[in-house]
Amino acid sequence: MKNFKLLTILTFVLSVFVLSGCKKDDPKLDSPEAFLKNPYVSDAVNESNIPVNQGNNPPALAGTYSTNGSVTDASDELSSLIGNPIQSVFVLSNQTASGKIDFAESVSGINVSGIGGYITGDNGRFTIYGESKQSGTDAGLPDGISLTVVIMMSGTQSNNGNLTGVQGISIITDAASNNSSYNVAAIKGLWWKYNATFTLQKSNAPALKSSVNYNGTIIVQKTLQNIIK
């Protein structure tokens, strides 16, 4: 997630870590409740004040969206990201009645996706919980580095299908490297938050086998690279 706008979102995304932290093993993220019990996620949610919309009747969101917004908050180590624009394409797919949903996005060749995520909400409001495994140059990372990034997103679906008042957050919940010169412990627990409007481009988008393509400014990945070196 090194300069990964995202949606993560953006991806810019693209997902958050405590310096040399010694937290207990993270619980398996097999439900919305498990996401919120993850110590890195719970800390980031509390610090960022991102809303969490509960409920078992979220709106149907599968589709392709163009996004417009900016980074509004971040961990102290990532404060330089605040104010950077979020302009991308974000795809949600495979939403099920049991509350599952997939997402995918790409920033200038950096690909971010997650399958088997969750969605909760009611009365048009929603919160999405997803996890993205990222490694190597495909994710804008140096060879030998891998990250696990939790992506959460809350907002309201308008009558025209647009998503308004969207607040998203990316949280690095795990980082590893086979290069001892990288201080990956320094990025576990780091997070960044954005506000954006999602304008619906196409309903019921098909599941993505890789990711969508869009242009965007890559900022997160380079910032993280500077921290771990």
Strands (E), the chain: 63-74, 85-93, 100-107, 110-122, 125-135, 145-157, 163-177, 191-203
Average pLDDT, the chain: 77
Cis peptide bond upstream of 14, omega within 30: yes
Task: Name the one residue in this structure whose structure tokens are 């010694």.
Answer: 22
Distances from the Cα of 33 to the Cα of 16, 36, 45, 141, 225, angstroms: 19, 5, 13, 30, 31
Tell whether the model's pLDDT for residue 46 goes beyond 90.
yes
163 or 23, higher pLDDT: 163
Task: Please report the sign of the dihedral spanned by the C-alpha atoms of residue 169, residue 82, residue 17, residue 132.
Answer: positive
Of 25-39, 140-154, 198-212, minimum mean pLDDT range = 198-212
Band of residue 127 on the pLDDT scale cut at 50, 70, 90: very high
Q: What is the pLDDT of residue 45?
A: 96
pLDDT tens column, 158-181:
999 999 999 999 999 998 888 777
The letter for the amino acid at 216 is G
Measured between alpha carbons, how far is 159 from 20 in angstroms, rounded to an integer? 46
Mean pLDDT of all residues in 81-101:
88
Q: In degrees rounded to 5, what are phi and psi of residue 182? A: -90, 130
Tokens (6 digits) for 73: 């908050």
